[in-house]
Amino acid sequence: MQRDDTLWKSILEDIFEDFLLFFYPNAASYFDFSKDFEYLDKELEQLFPPEDNSYQTRFVDKLVKVYCQNGDNEWILVHIEVQGYHDPHFNRRMFTYYSRILDKYDKPVTAFAIFTENNAAFRPCEYYREFMGTSILYRFNAFKILEQDEQMLRESDNPFAVVVLTALIALKCKHITEDEILAIKLTLARNLLGKGFSKRKISKLMNFLRYYIRFEKVEAIAKFDHIISHLTNRSTTMGIEEFLLDRAKKEGENNKATELITNLLRETSFTVEVIARLAGVSPEFVTEIKLGKTSRLPN
């Protein structure tokens, strides 16, 4: 399964408030969400110019200025690194970022490392150095996608949980077929559509899902986009399964459910079980339609 970690850069901006609330549930009492976030990516690039003046995309990094509600700090900085490969020097890089950010802004900094790779042993969370009685210890927030609980993410009402869940599924599902990827992406889309998020957030998160877990075949891309566009044009709050079943009931269970299943049989390569789940009927009913033997109501 192919994935695109560069998409983290945009999704973090799209739902940054939810990112903060995901890690700090009481963030609204500390941060002033009435003021816009300021993304200082260009300033971060100036602190770390490419080596030998050559352009390199090695990792995803964000630096965000966040205003506070009250207290001694008018604003603070949030530094985020999304790391998708093993780097033995990652902890030192995080410390170097911190020292340069602190030197430039002289403001409080909280840092996050989000690890999207599948090496369970790779989870640096601090940098320590000591020499002849002089030492320094720098700790940062480490968040390992591979360690997250899939069920808790599915049940969460925070939009950032959808991002984490998408990344987790991409790590867990290796060496699978295009049809299996399609079924997985539709299940994730169902979970997203069932959350009742705003249309804007649904759109942003759906794009992350669409492009983060990528298909190789054009046909699979077309199938996914066709089904999702067909569904989201008519429903932004219901899941895929619920929407299909609701439409079948409203327009006449027998005829419309049969029409829906016939279309899925003709236009997709879904298994009988997947189609039955999407349509909200029994596998036996789908099999009878496939064989052209049914005239009864679906179970």
Output phi, psi for 213, to 5 deg. Answer: -95, 110
Instruction: Indicate the SS3 state at residue 264.
Output: helix
Whether pTM > 0.85 for this model: the answer is no
Encode pLDDT of 6-22 as tens digits. 789 889 999 999 999 99
pLDDT at 51: 58
Closest CA to 160 of 19, 33, 7: 19
Helices (H), ranges, 148-217: 150-155, 159-172, 178-193, 199-212
Using only C-alpha atoms, the chain has a radius of gyration, in whole angstroms, of 23
pLDDT at 172: 81
Looking at every residue in the chain, the average pLDDT score rounds to 82
**Which residues on neighbouring strands pair with residue 135, listed in sequence order?**
130
How many Cβ atoms from other residues are within 10 Å of residue 24's Cβ?
13
Encode pLDDT of 231-278 as tens digits. 766 543 444 444 444 544 554 455 667 878 888 888 887 888 888 877
Give the model's confidence band at 50: pLDDT under 50 very low, under 70 low, under 90 confident, else very high.
low
pLDDT at 61: 87
Cα end-to-end span (Å), the chain: 35
What CA–CA distances, in Å, run from 198 to 8, 21, 41, 194, 212? 20, 17, 27, 11, 21
Per the model's pLDDT, the better-predicted residue between 82 and 277 turns out to be 82
Residue 296 and residue 257 in contact, taking contact as beta carbons nearer than 8 Å:
no
Ramachandran sector of residue 133 (left: φ over 0; alpha: ψ -120 to 50; beta: rest): left
